[in-house]
C-alpha cells in the first residue's frame, strides 16, 4: 500500500557567489528553489547536516570542480565529504558517470583532512574490487589511486609522526599505496618487515 504522506525536506545550500547558508523547505514534489543565476555552482546539504542524497548534474560538477582545482579551501571539509559520498552513491546505482566522479575528485590530491581522505580511499577500493580482473583498466586505476596517496607520503614522509591525526593520515596513505602496488612503498614495507623479523630472530 502506498502512503499518501510526503516528507517536508529542509534544503540548506550555498552558491559560488554567496557562502552564507540559505534554508528553504520543500513541501511538495513540484517545489523548487529559484537562484539568482544559473551560471554558478550550488552546494546542497550544507555541512552534511541532513539525511538525503544530492544529485548534481555533470555541468554543475564541472563548474564546482574547476573552482576547487583553483582553491581547495573554498568548501568546508564536511561539504567536500558530502559531495564525494553523494557522487559515489549515485555511481553505485548507475545514476552518474564514473568519468565525472573521477574528474571531480582530482582536487583531493591537495586534501589534508583525515576523515575525508579515509572515505575517499574506501570508495576507491570499492571501485578497484569491481575492476581488478580487467587487466587493461586495473593498472591505470592503480596509478590513478596512487596519485592521491603519493602526495601525502611525499609531504609527511615514511617516518611516523607523533601527532595522532598526522600519523593516522600518514599510515592511511602508506597502506593505500601498498594496496595499489606502488613499488617504492612496497619495497620499503618489505625491507622494514625483513628488518623486524631479523631483529626478532634469536
Domain boundaries, the chain: 112-201
pLDDT at position 34:
81
Q: Collapsing DSSP states into helix, strand and coil, what is residue 157?
A: coil
pLDDT at position 3:
57
- Of the candidates 2, 37, 4, 9, the one whose C-alpha atom is nearest the C-alpha of residue 23 is 9
- The grid cell for 92 is 553505485
Could you list the mean pLDDT of each consecutive 10-residue stretch along the chain, which spans 202 residues? 72 92 88 77 90 87 93 94 95 91 94 96 95 92 96 95 95 96 94 86 68
The continuous run of DSSP H or E covering 141 comes out as helix 135-156
- Of the candidates 80, 79, 60, the one whose C-alpha atom is nearest the C-alpha of residue 12 is 79
Determine if residue 157 is left, alpha or beta; phi over 0 gives left, psi from -120 to 50 gives alpha, anything else beta.
Answer: left
pLDDT at position 109:
94
Question: End-to-end CA distance of the chain, in Å?
Answer: 71
pLDDT at position 192:
87
Amino acid at each position: 500500500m502506498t502512503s499518501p504522506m510526503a516528507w517536508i525536506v529542509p534544503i540548506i545550500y550555498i552558491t559560488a557567489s554567496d557562502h552564507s547558508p540559505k534554508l528553504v523547505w520543500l513541501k511538495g514534489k513540484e517545489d523548487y528553489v529559484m537562484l539568482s543565476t544559473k551560471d554558478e555552482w550550488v552546494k546542497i546539504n550544507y555541512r552534511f547536516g541532513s539525511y538525503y542524497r544530492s544529485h548534481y548534474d555533470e555541468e554543475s560538477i564541472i563548474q564546482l570542480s574547476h573552482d576547487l582545482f583553483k582553491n581547495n579551501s573554498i568548501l568546508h571539509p564536511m561539504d567536500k565529504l558530502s559531495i564525494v559520498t553523494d557522487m559515489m552513491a549515485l555511481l553505485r546505482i548507475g545514476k552518474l558517470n564514473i568519468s565525472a566522479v573521477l574528474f571531480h575528485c582530482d582536487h583531493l590530491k591537495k586534501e589534508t583532512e583525515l576523515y575525508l581522505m579515509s572515505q575517499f580511499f574506501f570508495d576507491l577500493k570499492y571501485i578497484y574490487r569491481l575492476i581488478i580482473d580487467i587487466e587493461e583498466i586495473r593498472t591505470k586505476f592503480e596509478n590513478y589511486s596512487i596519485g592521491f596517496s603519493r602526495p601525502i607520503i611525499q609531504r609527511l614522509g615514511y617516518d611516523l609522526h607523533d601527532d595522532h591525526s598526522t600519523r593516522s593520515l600518514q599510515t592511511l596513505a602508506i597502506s593505500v599505496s601498498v594496496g595499489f602496488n606502488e613499488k617504492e612503498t612496497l619495497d620499503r614495507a618489505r625491507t622494514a618487515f625483513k628488518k623486524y623479523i631479523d631483529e626478532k630472530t634469536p
